[in-house]
Structure 1
């Protein structure tokens, strides 16, 4: 059984190809049961254990696989200098169930999460989207910036973080890598100037206000993974054409699930999910002036597709 670390995953994947692979995955018949979601009491805030299985259907042949991701989210890890999200991904042979590889689950999650948002933006963001605001400067932020840049002509990225020094440090590092990123301390001004706004935070209060969204903007909500978290207010949801990654987002995660629970929006406000967008049964962007919104809670299908993409690109052991 192979052990595939973060460096090997980075070497095997690229954003545009993984977005394409995810599009194929959501259009196919991969099986993904409801994930297990467990709270773990911690003195510095409740942690979470997620178990996410998925497998290819019968008939996949040599490409068949069974996978399960085991991930922990410990919000207090930032104070320890550790990522809040950690875990592993186990890939097993689809014909025999034999374990084939263990992958760095946190790294795989960063890739697949960013590329799922970019896949949604392929359908929902304006084709000429050039200015992006990135809300949050954690581990996912660089991946979201690169992934969205693979699908839209992003020429300017405004990076905001609750701790401005973190935004400045990340912006400087990304500029050194050739990305057009600048730190900002004025979130409202940044959002008002942006065609695409991506949020990846653990905020418990709304950060992005619907009143700030310009006509034609696309709002990508990636953080706020439980019902105590919010990244956008109810007005943002009411103004937007809302899409989700999977139906789980209707009851899990913040933002959409909370707005539905509290009656801020009705079920009819949610236009569809990635399955419908990728299969062509749900319309994407319908006009240049429409405001669109995508809420991601994560899907086991994404993990399996990303893991299989890594396995296919690695040299034979």
Structure 2
């Protein structure tokens, strides 16, 4: 028996943002229909290294795809020349349980997270959205913009980061796929006047104030993915339609986790899951003035659905290395 090893380069050669969005949207739809199995993420916390390791298993019945992702988050890694996030994905046969592929999951994670934000904005942002504000000019800022550029006619992008050099790097890279005007700043308030606002930082305190957010804004809250993290003033959540990717996961590690723990919002303030919206069980945006928030923690179903697409494409292209297993 053999398994297919796919390097990060093989994955990059097998995955477009358009294809990732299709896989992620179908994964959300399956979740909304109740045809997935996805236990909450399991965490190992390394306090003395300011990092963690997570395992994320999932099974999508309609896609007939199953597997697990192992992924770290170490915010100090860039100082050592390593990515903040690194991952491996193992795909298994649902019929036998045998592993069929192991692949680099770092690029895949960036892409599926960007795709999730774009899919959420498709259902929750104003259809006429043309301006994007980004808080945090790292790799995920680029992936979020790449996804939004697939879904909307973006004319203007505002980027805020503590490092203007990172802002400039994001602008330069984004111009390869997006013809838009760019404004860069170290002042977060400057980028909040946007149709779609994306927050992609590891912050443990609110960065975006309530009075900076206009009516009609959609927010993709991406950065909060572990207990204690938050990027938004809880007052924003109290006046917004809050959609989470998964209720259990969001309550212990999403944007809503701290406000819930402190009693500033209640579970009843969560409107729906994105799966319920995509599956048509509840409506997404219903008027031009409401504020909408997508609380993205990152789901194993996104990884497995995307990895399954990567695997099929790589086999068709003859990519990867066959390795003996049994």
Give the TM-score normalised by structure 2.
0.90
Give 5+ residue unaligned stretches, structure 1.
none
Taking the aligned partners of 1:255 and 1:247, their CA distance within structure 2 comes to 11
Matches of 2:171 and 2:118, distance apart in 1:
20
Query: Which portions of structure 1, spanning 4 or more consecutive aligned residues, are displaced by more than 6 angstroms?
Result: none
Note the 1:82-101 alignment, pairs <5 A.
Answer: 82-101=82-101
Deviation at 1:176, TM superposition (A): 4.8
Map of 1:105 onto structure 2: 105
Give distance in 2, aligned partners of 1:280 and 1:139: 32
Q: What is residue 281 of structure 1 aligned with on the other side?
A: 281
Does structure 1 retain, via aligned residues, the 8 Å contact 2:55–2:69? yes
Aligned in 2, Cα 1:184/1:102: closer, same or farther, shift over 3 Å? same
Change (3 A) 1:128 1:138: same
Q: Displacement, 1:177?
A: 4.9
- Work out whether residues 172 and 182 of structure 1, in 8 Å CA contact, stay in contact via their aligned partners in 2: no
Give, in whole Å, the separation in 1 of the partners of 2:130 and 2:165: 25
In 1, Cα distance between equivalents of 2:44 and 2:241: 31
Distance (whole Å) between structure 2 residues aligned to residue 232 and residue 123 of structure 1: 21
Three-state SS of the structure 2 residue aligned to 1:205 is strand
Counterparts of 1:30-41 in structure 2 under 5 Å? 30-41=36-47
CA shift, 1:9, in A, is 2.1
The match for 1:122 is 122
What do residues 3-37 of structure 1 show as CA deviations (whole Å, max 9, x unaligned)? 21223222322223322222222222122122211
C-alpha distance in 2 between matches for 1:249 and 1:221: 14
Aligned to 1:26: 28
1:74/1:85 contact within 8 Å kept: yes
Task: Report the counterpart of residue 159 of structure 2 in structure 1.
Answer: 159
Residues 239-289 of structure 1: CA deviation (Å, up to 9, x unaligned)? 211110111344222431111121211222110002211211122001001
CA distance in structure 2 between the aligned counterparts of 1:216 and 1:142, rounded to whole angstroms = 23
The unaligned stretches of length 5 or more in structure 2 are 319-326
The residue matched to 1:206 in structure 2 has which SS? strand
Structure 1 CA distance, aligned partners of 2:161 and 2:245?
25
Do the aligned residues in 2 keep the contact of 1:248 with 1:297 (CA within 8 Å)? no
**Structure-2 change in CA distance of 1:64 and 1:281 (3 Å):** closer
Partners of 1:130 and 1:153 within 8 A in 2? yes
Instruction: Tell me what 1:8 maps to.
Output: 10
Describe the SS at the equivalent of 1:290.
coil
Alignment of 1:1-317 (within 5 A): 1-28=3-30, 29-43=35-49, 45=50, 47-57=51-61, 64-180=64-180, 181-192=182-193, 194-316=194-316, 317=318
Q: Which of structures 1 and 2 has the larger relative contact order (alpha carbons within 8 angstroms, sep 6+)?
A: 2
Larger deviation: 127-136 or 100-109? Answer: 100-109
Residue 315 of structure 1 and its aligned partner are, at CA, apart by 3.7
* Partner SS state of residue 12, structure 1: coil
**Structure 1 position 207, deviation (Å):** 1.3
Is the 1:65–1:95 contact (alpha carbons within 8 Å) kept by the matching residues of 2? no
Q: How far did residue 178 of structure 1 move?
A: 4.5
Q: Which secondary structure does the structure 1 equivalent of 2:253 belong to?
A: coil
> Is the CA contact 1:233–1:255 (under 8 Å) kept in the aligned structure 2?
no
Larger fraction in strand: 2
Q: What value does the CA root-mean-square deviation take over the aligned residues? A: 1.7
Aligned equivalents of 1:169, 1:26: Cα separation in 2: 32
